[in-house]
Copies of this chain bind each other. A is one copy, B any other.
Amino acid sequence: MTGIKRLAQHLNVSIGTVSRALNGKPDVSEDTRKRVLEAAAAIGYVPNQAGRALRKGATGVVGFMMQTGSEITGEGDVFFMSVFDGVQAVFARHQLDLVALLCSSEEDPDAYLQRVVARGFADALMISATKREDHRIDFLAGRNIPFVALGRSQTDAGHPWLDLDFEGMANVGVSRLVAKGHRRIGVFAPLDDINLGFVFVDAYRQVLERHGIAFDPDLVFRVFPNERGGHQVAHAIAAMPADKRPTGFVLTNEVMSVGLYNGLYQVGLVPGKNFALIGRDSPQAHFLVPRLTCFRLSLRDLGTALAEALLATMPAYAHHYPLGIVRKVMPLELVEGQSDMPAPP
């Protein structure tokens, strides 16, 4: 007798019910699913997923591709884990498992993704760190693999995406500092061709123009997006002639503020006293003195929205999430702190 037949007899349910429960289909009650999984564990029944994937094209797994490597996550992660919390809250409703696909920064993301797809163990993918032109989007769309992108791109395959409102951060942050009398306002931009850098710098230029302030490329500080990068920005500012230095700064990255604070203190620029800083909220930023004026959004909500946008495109789940193709910029809230004082007269 096959394992599944034995399991069905043992539980006095149909083979179809056992199969649907094991495959995480939504039309099985939680109670039944629990009974089936417990009984399967008790009798040591391990359905061969490889076989199941061949038959049904469904693995019950969704992969979230994120970049790793000492320049990026060597100091830890204060973003993705919270996003994953939200994704998992949605996936748990459907017995879907989230796995994090860790693409080393030393590896080409396109080749990595192709290999992941070749391995064939996920039903759908979430991609992040989207580039200005991102081949992964065309690759996935061309193979009809359901996916959602965290981050916009100029590559458009009619796919769903969510992104942070970098334009809003540029607009609110720069305008706030201008209103406080600042004219030389520095910003951070990444070193690589990740799309958010282009979006933010474009928006920064536009808001400066609206305020009648000339764009100065020396005020765009390009470093690795980590704490060390924050330090480097502070020391780069200190190395500028006094009349060329920014008097304020808008930082859109969530891991750099601790390093930037520390570096600013080292060079005698004290946030909220003689240097105005607006940053991104993070668990560590809560401990900064003086309190950081910062942009905040719920990363858990972002994760929830990402998961729902993905499921909305998957035939097995779309009826639960009649959202169409989600393309949404998530707004951030400005939380007032004490780090952005008016410019010196």
B88 and A97 contacting across the interface, CB-CB below 8 Å: no
B73 and A88 contacting across the interface, CB-CB below 8 Å: no
Question: Which of the candidate stretches A39-47, A171-179, A268-276 sits at the interface with the other chain?
Answer: A39-47
A113, closest chain B residue (CB): B41
Contact of A76 among B82, B88, B98 (CB under 8 A): B82
Contact of A49 among B63, B104, B118 (CB under 8 A): B118
Q: Which residues of B contact A119 (CB under 8 A)?
A: 49, 59-61, 97, 121
Chain B min CB distance to A115 (Å)? 7
Question: Which of the candidate stretches A50-58, A149-157, A194-202, A207-215 sits at the interface with the other chain?
Answer: A50-58
Contact indicator per residue, chain A 109-127, by CB within 8 Å of chain B (1) or not (0): 0110011111111100000
Contact indicator per residue, chain A 76-88, by CB within 8 Å of chain B (1) or not (0): 1111011011001
> Number of A interface residues, CB 8 Å?
66
A98 and B102 contacting across the interface, CB-CB below 8 Å: yes
Q: Which residues of B contact A259 (CB under 8 A)?
A: 287
Give the contacts of A96-145 with B (CB-CB under 8 A). Answer: 97-102, 104, 106-107, 110-111, 114-122, 142-143
Number of copies: 2
A85 and B98 contacting across the interface, CB-CB below 8 Å: no
- Expressed in whole angstroms, the Cα–Cα distance for A162 and B88 within the complex equals 29
- Expressed in whole angstroms, the Cα–Cα distance for A210 and B262 within the complex equals 42
A98, closest chain B residue (CB): B102
Contacts A41-B110, A49-B50, A68-B81 supplied; 8 other A-B pairs, CB < 8 Å: A48-B54, A49-B119, A49-B120, A61-B121, A75-B283, A84-B102, A99-B102, A100-B100
A sample of 29 inter-chain contacts (CB < 8 A) reads A37-B115, A41-B110, A41-B111, A46-B114, A46-B120, A47-B118, A47-B120, A48-B120, A49-B50, A49-B120, A50-B51, A50-B53, A50-B121, A59-B119, A60-B119, A61-B121, A68-B81, A69-B85, A70-B85, A70-B300, A74-B82, A74-B85, A75-B78, A76-B76, A76-B282, A92-B106, A92-B107, A97-B115, A99-B102
Query: A residues engaging B (CB < 8 A)?
Result: 22, 37-38, 40-41, 44, 46-51, 53-54, 59-61, 63, 68-70, 73-79, 81-82, 84-85, 88, 92, 97-102, 104, 106-107, 110-111, 114-122, 142-143, 227, 258-259, 261-262, 282-284, 287, 300
